[in-house]
Each structure stands twice: as structure tokens, then as C-alpha cells.
């Protein structure tokens, strides 16, 4: 059986309808859902003085996400767009004038170092093999097939120059920015929303949640999904990002075994230390990178990394018990 779970976090205010303005001069709640960016569900909820104000912000935010979706796409080409697929198909030539891609590569290289090589944006050759098996929903790649692909995952072959040029020197290396792209994109989209004058909102891109301001009755309440069913915990945030990485997001089952999409670069198979890791952090790009890195790292090393980045984290273990950083409970 094959299953794709797009939303990692359940937002307690979730709704698919736009709320009409009361006309009282107070802010009202508005909500819209998109399904055409980053292969997941995007939900935008905000408190605005009018539907017109909300719609303008939503349209600007959506346009920004569409632009970034095309830029970071590793599988598809678009007219007039030089993206990650372009880069991987033309190794050695490099892409110029793509500052967002440069920033993501730099973030990926930073977290490769911080995680001791556990988070590797150059692991695409291996991840593509798993993607193909997940799409079919049957079979398991051989160790030999994965090892051969892993010969082309050296992140030192990927560069981002101060002049804004991204290059790949190994013709068989494939970038995969899935561990960092949605968090980075949510931060840029949130900036667009704020530039439109909207300050009280929550934006959820497939479980990468970024918040600003508050609801009329207080902070945003975000539900951390139980890996099997329901809500495991709730956190209350204002201005922070909440991101979860888990084994229930994208996976398939074959002969009674679940194979999810977060691959350990040492074993080349799905990581099995935890069921999920949730990170709360002020920077959405950092939160996204951290959630994947911590999912792949030993617990004590992960705690130290979270602390060094000013983040709080919740680990749900295979037996459904949990471990928290010292400051996580203040959000519950």
C-alpha cells in the first residue's frame, strides 16, 4: 500500500472557507487553501480588516510560492526558468542570477557540517531511487544499487559562489533540496504577506508552519500530529515556526514493512531512530533543516545542535514515548 501524508501538523483553526468581514471595523478571520505548490497542501489563515486586504496578500504570497516551486523543482522544466533540474542536467556550467538557490545551497552545506554529514542536499541520486520505488509502491532497492548511487553524493562537488553562481562538478550528482526548501520558501512567502500589511497570520506549507502576530483570543495553537492517528501534543506560538519531520509523511509498505522518505546517508535506508521530530524556531528555514537533521542524528547530538541554534524540539520515539528539550514545555 502506498500513502502520501502531506500535512504533518494539524492547525486547530483549520477551515476551507473564507470568513466574511463583519463590517465592525475589527479584524475578521479569512482562510484559503492551495494544492499547486511543493506537491503538498498549503493553507493560509489571517485576520484582516477586509476580504480585499486578505485576497491581495494571498495572491501575492501564492505568486511567490509558485515562483519558488518552479525554481527548486528537481523533476520538471518550465519555459524561461533555470531551476535545479537545469543545473543537474548541465553540470559544470552553473547557474547565474539565482540568489534563492545560492542561499539554499549555502544552508544545506552549513547543515551538512552541523549534522556531521547526516543532512546532505547532494544525496539526490540515492533519494531518486527511493522515490521511484515509492511511486511504484512495491519492491525495495538493492544495497548494491544504492551504494553505486551513493558514489555521487559528495557535497564538496556543489558550490555557491559570492558572485551568485551555483555549480555542480560531478555530472552524476543530483541535488535534492527537500530537507530545506519548504521552510526557506515559507519564510520568503511570510515576508511577502507582511509587506502587504498583514501581520496576524499562520501559513502552513505541508506541515512547515510559520506564524506572525496572534489571533484575537491569543497565540496560534498548533497540533503536533501523532505518528499513527490524532494529535500528540499542542503548542502555542506567536512569531515562531513549527516544523515536523516524521516517518508517516511519505511512505509505502511492502511485505509488511514501512519505507519512508527520510534516508540515512550511512545506511542508505530509511532512518529508524524516531517516529517524528518537531522543531520550534524563530527562523522557518532553520526549523525545516533542523527537523530533518535531528531526525537523522543520535538524541544527545541532536539536543546539542538544537540548543546551539536556539531551537526547541520534541522527539517521538518508536514506542510512542517522547523526549523534549528543556524549553519545549513552555510552548505547551
Q: How far is CA 63 from the centre of its chain?
A: 18
Residue-level pLDDT at 163: 82
Nearest to 30 by CA among 41, 16, 40, 42: 16
Distance CA 262, CA 122 (A): 14
Residue-level pLDDT at 24: 55
> Residue 20 contacts by C-beta under 8 Å, 6 or more apart in sequence?
28, 51
Tens of each residue's pLDDT in the chain, 332 residues: 333 333 334 433 333 333 444 445 799 999 999 999 999 999 999 999 999 999 999 999 999 999 999 999 988 999 999 999 998 888 778 888 889 999 999 999 999 999 999 999 999 999 999 999 999 999 999 999 999 999 999 999 999 988 888 999 999 999 999 999 999 999 999 999 999 999 999 999 998 999 999 999 999 999 999 999 999 999 999 999 999 999 998 899 999 999 999 999 999 999 999 999 999 999 999 999 999 999 999 999 999 999 999 999 999 999 999 999 999 999 99
In the chain, DSSP assigns E strands to 2-4, 9-11, 28-37, 40-48, 95-96, 158-160, 165-168, 201-205, 208-212, 220-225, 231-237, 241-246, 250-254, 257-260, 276-281, 312-316, 322-324
Over the stretch 253-282, which tens digit does the pLDDT of each residue have?
A: 999 999 999 999 999 999 999 999 999 999
Distances from the Cα of 195 to the Cαs of 64, 152, 175, 284, 315, in angstroms?
12, 41, 31, 17, 35
Q: How far is CA 143 from the centre of its chain?
A: 27
**What are the backbone dihedrals phi and psi of residue 294, each rounded to the nearest 5 degrees, phi first?**
-65, -30
Nearest to 203 by CA among 70, 14, 3: 14
Helix (H, G, I), strand (E, B) or coil at 155: helix
**Residue 284 and residue 204 in contact, taking contact as beta carbons nearer than 8 Å:** no
Reported as half-sphere exposure (CB side, CA atoms, 13 A), residue 242 has a value of: 29
Residue-level pLDDT at 56: 98
Over the stretch 8-37, which tens digit does the pLDDT of each residue have?
A: 344 333 333 334 444 457 999 999 999 999
Helix (H, G, I), strand (E, B) or coil at 322: strand
Residue-level pLDDT at 7: 39
The domains located in the chain, with CATH, are 2-72+180-331 (3.10.520.10), 84-168 (1.10.3980.10)
Amino acid at each position: 500500500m502506498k500513502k502520501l501524508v502531506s500535512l504533518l501538523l494539524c492547525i486547530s483553526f483549520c477551515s476551507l472557507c473564507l470568513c466574511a468581514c463583519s463590517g465592525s471595523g475589527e479584524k475578521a478571520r479569512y482562510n484559503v487553501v492551495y494544492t499547486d505548490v511543493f506537491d503538498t497542501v498549503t493553507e493560509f489563515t489571517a485576520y484582516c480588516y477586509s476580504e480585499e486586504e486578505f485576497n491581495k496578500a494571498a495572491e501575492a504570497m501564492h505568486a511567490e510560492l509558485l515562483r519558488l516551486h518552479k525554481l527548486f523543482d528537481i523533476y520538471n522544466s518550465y519555459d524561461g526558468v533555470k531551476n535545479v533540474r537545469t543545473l543537474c542536467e548541465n553540470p559544470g556550467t552553473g547557474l547565474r542570477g539565482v540568489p534563492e538557490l545560492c542561499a539554499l545551497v549555502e544552508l544545506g552545506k552549513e547543515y551538512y557540517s552541523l549534522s556531521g554529514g547526516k543532512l546532505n542536499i547532494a544525496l539526490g541520486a540515492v533519494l531518486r531511487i527511493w522515490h521511484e520505488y515509492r511511486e511504484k509502491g512495491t519492491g525495495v532497492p538493492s544495497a548494491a544499487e544504492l551504494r553505486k548511487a551513493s558514489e555521487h553524493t559528495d557535497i564538496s562537488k556543489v558550490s555557491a559562489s559570492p558572485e551568485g553562481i551555483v555549480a555542480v562538478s560531478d555530472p552524476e550528482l543530483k541535488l535534492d533540496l527537500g530537507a530545506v526548501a519548504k521552510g526557506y520558501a515559507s519564510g520568503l512567502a511570510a515576508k511577502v504577506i507582511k509587506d502587504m500589511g498583514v501581520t496576524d497570520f499562520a501559513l502552513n506549507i505541508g506541515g512547515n508552519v510559520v506564524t506572525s502576530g496572534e489571533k484575537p483570543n491569543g497565540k496560534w495553537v498548533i497540533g503536533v500530529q501523532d505518528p499513527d492517528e490524532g494529535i500528540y501534543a499542542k503548542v502555542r506560538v506567536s512569531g515562531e515556526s513549527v516544523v515536523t519531520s516524521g516517518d508517516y509523511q511519505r511512505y509505502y509498505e511492502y511485505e509488511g514493512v514501512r519505507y519512508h522518505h527520510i534516508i540515512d546517508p550511512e545506511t542508505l535506508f530509511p532512518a529508524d531512530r524516531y517516529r517524528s521530530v518537531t522543531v520550534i524556531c524563530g527562523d522557518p528555514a532553520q526549523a525545516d533543516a533542523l527537523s530533518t537533521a535531528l531526525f537523522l542524528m543520535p538524541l544527545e547530538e541532536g539536543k546539542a545542535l538544537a540548543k546551539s541554534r536556539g531551537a526547541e524540539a520534541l522527539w517521538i520515539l518508536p514506542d510512542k514515548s517522547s523526549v523534549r528539550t528543556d524549553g519545549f514545555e513552555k510552548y505547551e
